[in-house]
Amino acid sequence: MTNRILRTVLAAAAIVALAGPALAETKPKKEPTAGQLAARERMHKCSAEWKEAKAGGKVAKDAKWPKFWSECNTRLKAGKA
């Protein structure tokens, strides 16, 4: 029984040792596009608005983030502050 466990552990260690260099050779991360950066910036702005509106009680109790995000994102894309 212990022989079987020892062989399994050694086999797993050998696989990890052999696969290590192959795992290190991954592709570099791509830089985000201008559109992705703009979307992230809009999300951050809308998130700040959401938190401020929730804290100030300006949002309905049943309001949900996805609907708020959709409206805010559309408004910011149109260029209205």
- In the chain, the number of structural domains is 1
* pLDDT for position 23: 60
* pLDDT for position 16: 67
Tell me which residue range forms the domain holding 51: 2-25+33-78
**65 neighbors 50 (Cβ within 8 angstroms):** yes
**8 φ, ψ (degrees, to nearest 5):** -65, -45
* pLDDT for position 15: 72
* pLDDT for position 37: 96
Which residue's entry shows tokens 């409206």?
71
* pLDDT for position 74: 96
* pLDDT for position 13: 72
Residue ranges, the chain, pLDDT below 50: none
* pLDDT for position 68: 95
